[in-house]
Structure 1
Amino acid sequence: MNKIEAYISSGVIEAFVLGQLSDAETKELLQYAEEHQEVRSAIDEAEETLFALGQKGSIAPPAQSKNALFEELVLQMESSASEEVKKDISESKIKKEAKSFSIYPFLSAAASIVAVIGIALSAYYYNQWQATENRLSNIIAQNQSMAQQYNVVKNQMDQYAENIEILRQPGIETVPMNGLDIAPEAQAFVHWNKKTNEVFLNAKKMPSNDMDNQYQLWAIVDGAPVDMGVFDVAGDMTQLLKMKTTSKASAFAVTLEPRGGSENPTMEKMYVIGQI
């Protein structure tokens, strides 16, 4: 891996797209982008990935912050309360001018009105605060979900990049293994490096196994099956599985065996096979 590939794989591209770089790091990245098309392409891919995640399910947070929203609610309620108080005071003045009763009953009534308004405003503010808290909690949860989705996609991209590095090694030969009658839709691929004897398995299209059994890879060497290791198929099978090494083989096959594997393959439970 050269210097530029290492720089791209370091995570600085994703940090730039998320706005997490310092000014100096941003300046350095932009300089690299001008000088190297690979860096520019990596930035574009990261931006497209983040945009796709946002389009898929994320809800953008509101333009106003929590404090700004609460301030607006307070101003609206104060304005509304002020109008109601003015109306009550105006009505009291009219009644005072129309009648010659004592002023004290009106003062008592006004005090009661102010008390009721105060209680109503307190309840309203509390309910609005709770609603705002709930909205903010939802926004935070949605953003956390988006971040988790981004991390999943990033991890998959990193794994794909690692797989590509394996497949680009000199001496790699790919052996497709197709499904037999027990599982016609099953398929797997063996990537065998004849220079290093390393064997990698892509089992993404194999059906999931249960807890009591495991798949076992076999290499056919001089007409006899040789154990190449056991494996499970569950969840995301993006990663290439590194199996045991072999210096020669005429075919590869996969059988379903009791957990831990068997000394000899169970022929009636052979799922896929591929000739070299």
Structure 2
Amino acid sequence: MEEGKAYIESGILELYVLGQLTVQEQHEVEAMAAKYPEVKQEIDAIEIAMEQYALRHAVEPAADLKGKILDQIGTAKPVETKPEQVADNTKQMHQPVKESIVIPLQTKAYESKIRTLRVALVACIALLAISVVALFSARTELGAAKSEILALNLDKQKFAATVSHLEESNTDLQKIADMPDDPDWKIVKLAGTAMDPKAKMVVYWHKTGQHVMVDNAKMALPVNDQNHQYQLWALVNGKPVDLGVFDVKADSTHILLKMKEITGAQAFAVTIEKRGGSVAPTMDQMIVMGGVSI
């Protein structure tokens, strides 16, 4: 509905009725008219308005103009020929033909009206040209307004995303701040292995709730490529248990990354696996590991 209203206000329908559009633009208008009844009604209204304008400004000739013209050219009503006049007409046919007299047509009044019509036509053309320029200007301004609205919408979306990110970050930070007050939260620091001694990260594990979360803010791992992911493992009674995969992103929208839950664990480790993860850890690809303190 809003699209049809905006299309009507663009001024393109007046140009369509005046025949000032290209074939492609005409097809566009006809498609919009078929899609939106209000567009078709507006086209009909414009055509009726222009027709009424033409009729309202039409110049009607004077009532006696026809009689004056007929008098000037010597036109008379046909006269019935009587039998006795036929002989006289026959005699006259043998008489020398006199030179025809041409009576000039007095058209000063008629020419005056033509000049008036010409002036009116020129004025209408000028008005039409001004209207067309105004319509194109309005259409251009409408296009600029649409671009500004689009830009404002994009800014609004970016602002909303920023606000959402700040709210989520604030929630995560509050969770981290509250952890020391809950003894069931275990903060496990994972240190780098021989594969990358500088690597490190932090895992939060809630023993009772079984929650496991990775701290993106305290993660120092190389960015993985498109074919590989990091996989978190928990060591439970000497056996590795899969806790899910994750990617390292510099622009992560979450501080805390939730992983799979675990009931008990003696240690946590991270390996580099093919994207999607593995059923068993690749030991020579273990990059960090850390034990759970009692």
Give the TM-score of the pair, scaled to structure 2: 0.48
Residue segments in structure 2 that go unaligned for 5+ positions in a row: 1-5, 11-110
How far apart are residue 191 of structure 1 and its match?
0.9
> How has the CA–CA distance of structure 1 residues 182 and 262 changed in structure 2, closer, same or farther, with 3 Å as cutoff?
same
Q: Could you tell me which amino acid in structure 2 is paired with residue 200 of structure 1?
A: M
Residues 237 and 265 of structure 1: CA distance in aligned 2, closer, same or farther (over 3 Å):
farther
The DSSP-based 3-state class of the residue aligned with 1:240 is strand
The one-character-per-residue Cα deviations of 1:39-64 (angstroms, maximum 9, x if unpaired) are: xxxxxxxxxxxxxxxxxxxxxxxxxx
- Given that 1:182 and 1:270 are in contact with CA atoms closer than 8 Å, whether structure 2 keeps it comes out as yes
Which amino acid in 2 is paired with 1:270? M
Aligned residue type for 2:261: K
Aligned pair 1:177/2:172, yes or no? no
Aligned residue for 2:290? 274
1:219 pairs, out of 229, 234, 237, with: 234
Deviation at 1:241, TM superposition (A): 1.5
Letter of the 1:252 counterpart: F
Percent identity, aligned pairs only, is 23
Deviation of the 1:108 alpha carbon = 4.5
Q: 1:137 deviation in Å?
A: 0.9
Q: Distance in 2 between matches of 1:124 and 1:185?
A: 69
Post-superposition offset of 1:216: 1.5
Q: Which structure would you say has the larger Rg?
A: 2
- Check whether the contact 1:208–1:232 (CA below 8 A) recurs between aligned residues: no
- Alpha-carbon distance in structure 1 between the residues aligned to 2:270 and 2:253: 16
Give the Å deviation of 1:178.
4.5
- Aligned counterpart, 1:57: none
Take 1:179 and 1:116, find their aligned partners in 2: how far apart are those partners? 83
Deviation at 1:183, TM superposition (A): 5.7
Distance in 1 (CA, whole Å) between partners of 2:128 and 2:196 is 71
User: What is the number of residues matched between the two proteins?
Assistant: 175
Deviation at 1:246, TM superposition (A): 4.0
The answer to whether the 8 A contact 2:165-2:253 is kept is no
Shift of 1:159: 1.9
For 2:271, the aligned partner's letter is T
Superposed, which structure 2 residues align to 1:20-99 within 5 Å?
none
Distance apart, 1:121 and its partner CA: 1.3
Please list the CA deviations of residues 163-199 of structure 1 after superposition, one character each: whole Å capped at 9, or x if unmatched: 2353224122333334556567754320122443422
Which of 112, 129, 132 is the aligned partner of 2:141?
A: 132
* Inter-partner Cα distance in structure 2 for 1:273 and 1:109: 96
User: Are the counterparts in 1 of residues 234 and 243 from structure 2 also a CA contact under 8 Å?
Assistant: no
Does the aligned pair in 2 maintain the 1:216–1:227 contact within 8 Å?
A: no
